[in-house]
Amino acid sequence: MTLRFGTDGIRGRDTELSPELVVAVGRAAAAALDLAPGRRFVIGRDTRRSGPMIESALAAGLAAEGLHVERLGVIPTPGVAHVSAAEDVAGAVISASHNAFSDNGIKLFAPGGRKLSDAAEARLERRLDALVSGSAADVDPPVGGTAIGSVEDRPEAVVDYGDHVLATALEGRGLDGLSIVLDAAHGAAWALGPEVLARAGAKLTVIHAEPDGCNINAGCGSTHPEALSRAVTGHGADLGLALDGDGDRVLAVDHQGNLVDGDQLIAVLAVDLEERGRLRGHTVVVTVMSNLGLRHGMADHGIAVVETPVGDRHVLTALEQGSWSLGGEQSGHVILPELATTGDGLLTGLLVAEVVVRSGRTLAELAASAMTRLPQVLRAVPVARRDPGIVAAVADELAGAEAELGDAGRIVLRPSGTEPVVRVMVEAPTRDQAERVAERLARAVERVAVPAPG
């Protein structure tokens, strides 16, 4: 069995994404997306050491199917999605997002900037299996001669994307007078992020913007905002923004050093858009992992909440089906489909900063007036393999915990779509109760799950 799609593309250890396998992924992608020879295909990547190796292998597989590949270099995921949407070309991002540098992955976009449908992913997996096993008689050999595709660099794409973000987020306004600390996570936006915020007029301090191929997300970025919190209070800044490795998510820190997570950012933007009559359908879309306090806060402001499974693709699908204008995840994926086809950390950060400037209120005030976050405890229980049956195996324990919390709390228990862990999320009126229930469920999972090796 070859690699499989999770909630955010193909992902694995860099040793699993061997050059031989990635060449096959490129060939399979061309077939699964029904891309005829001569079509263009764009590739971007983050700063992981394995990125150039995987980029070269993927480009080789695509060129072997006759596609003309444009390498965009180090660029955030939403930058590739923007090119894909604006130019109606397929694309890929080589990244493992917020994971450690030793992981990597491939996210694919169909022409138009959308992540692949379930059907397209299934076609790609079947084609990949056939290529790797050599068992399918209908797998055509690579093209040859003048039909072989080209591979060329297109470094100016990241500049064009930065121009797009500025024009889209600020609509001619600026961030003059606002002091911001940016944590670039040593990732894909390490150069572009500071440039865009400086051009917007912010007084800027930058941390974690010295990638060496191995330090992406290491104790920094959206998964480790503690350093950003210290930097904001230490510099007396108005707020801080923490990107992740591929730049498609952002978390914030207010002037007091308090974390403002994705739920709160969505709430702040939702209330602002609603007050200006720009929130379509008076509705936001979030996942099952979003805090119960967000639902209460939105109700207080007359805003409906639609819930989806975990994954920004599910959020985007719901947004499109309902013709709504805002959604996202607690992790910091925020999607505004009128502005972008995927989560965009830099765009979201600029939009939130612009609300701060325009309103004359601090981020802390805006977040507090939009919602009150209930105590929430998360546990990630390591397992040897992803097994959807684990939830059913602990059904009795789960039912008992849900009965204890009643309507005052909430539980989400699910296998991760990107990592070999089972995620346990508990919300309760007090943190002590949330921690106690989460620990009880985590132990129940450990009893029935095959433990992770080592």
Distance (Å, whole) CA 344 – CA 24: 29
Tens digits of residue pLDDT in 216-232: 999 999 999 999 999 99
pLDDT at residue number 89: 98
pLDDT at residue number 94: 97
Three-class HEC string of 308-341? ECCCHHHHHHHHHHHCCCCEECCCCCEECCCCCC
Q: Is the pLDDT of residue 15 over 90?
A: no
Mean pLDDT over each residue of the chain, to the nearest integer: 93
Q: Tokens 């939130």 map to which residue?
A: 352
Between residues 175 and 390, which one has the greater pLDDT?
175
Q: Is the pLDDT of residue 79 over 90?
A: yes
Q: Is the pLDDT of residue 180 over 90?
A: yes
454 band by pLDDT with thresholds 50, 70 and 90: low
Q: Is the pLDDT of residue 379 over 60?
A: yes
Q: Is the pLDDT of residue 390 over 70?
A: yes
- For 24, phi then psi, to 5°, come to -65, -35
**Please, is 56 exposed, middle or buried when counting C-beta atoms within 10 Å of its C-beta (0-12, 13-18, 19+)?**
middle
Exactly one of 84, 97, 222, 229 is catalytic; which is it? 97
Tens digits of residue pLDDT in 273-285: 999 999 999 999 9
- As a whole number of Å, the end-to-end CA separation of the chain is 23
Distance (Å, whole) CA 222 – CA 343: 14
The reply to whether 376-448 shares the fold of 160-370 is: no
Distance of CA 149 to the CA centre of its chain: 31
Strand order in the sheet with 410-415: 376-382, 421-427, 410-415
pLDDT at residue number 450: 62
CB-based contact 48:213 (threshold 8 Å): yes
Beta strands in 118-267 (DSSP E): 151-153, 179-183, 203-207, 239-243, 250-254, 259-260
Q: 5-155: what fold?
A: Alpha-D-Glucose-1,6-Bisphosphate; Chain A, domain 3 (3.40.120)
Q: Is the pLDDT of residue 345 over 80?
A: yes
Q: What is the mean pLDDT of residues 206-220?
A: 98
pLDDT at residue number 398: 94
pLDDT at residue number 138: 58
Q: Is the pLDDT of residue 161 over 80?
A: yes
Instruction: Report the C-alpha dihedral over residues 288, 290, 295, 297, rounded to 10 degrees.
Output: 180
CB-based contact 246:226 (threshold 8 Å): no
Distance of CA 433 to the CA centre of its chain: 30
Distance (Å, whole) CA 62 – CA 447: 45
Between residues 171 and 437, which one has the greater pLDDT?
437
Q: 160-370: what fold?
A: Alpha-D-Glucose-1,6-Bisphosphate; Chain A, domain 3 (3.40.120)
163-169-175 Cα angle (round to 5): 95
CATH superfamily placement of domain 376-448: Alpha-D-phosphohexomutase, C-terminal domain (3.30.310.50)
Q: What is the mean pLDDT of residues 77-90?
A: 97
pLDDT at residue number 206: 98
pLDDT at residue number 93: 98
Q: Tokens 């797009």 map to which residue?
A: 164
pLDDT at residue number 2: 63
Q: Is the pLDDT of residue 135 over 90?
A: no
pLDDT at residue number 136: 55
414 band by pLDDT with thresholds 50, 70 and 90: confident
| % of the chain exceeding 70 in pLDDT | 96
Q: What is the mean pLDDT of residues 427-443?
A: 94
25 band by pLDDT with thresholds 50, 70 and 90: very high
Between residues 7 and 258, which one has the greater pLDDT?
258
1 band by pLDDT with thresholds 50, 70 and 90: very low
97 is annotated as an active-site residue: yes
166-210-103 Cα angle (round to 5): 95
Q: Is the pLDDT of residue 264 over 70?
A: yes
pLDDT at residue number 289: 87
- Mapped onto helix, strand or coil, the DSSP state of residue 111 is coil
Between residues 98 and 237, which one has the greater pLDDT?
237
Q: What is the mean pLDDT of residues 102-128?
A: 92
453 band by pLDDT with thresholds 50, 70 and 90: low
Give residue limits of the domains in the chain. Answer: 5-155, 160-370, 376-448
**Please, is 412 exposed, middle or buried when counting C-beta atoms within 10 Å of its C-beta (0-12, 13-18, 19+)?**
middle
pLDDT at residue number 14: 80
Q: What is the mean pLDDT of residues 360-382?
A: 95
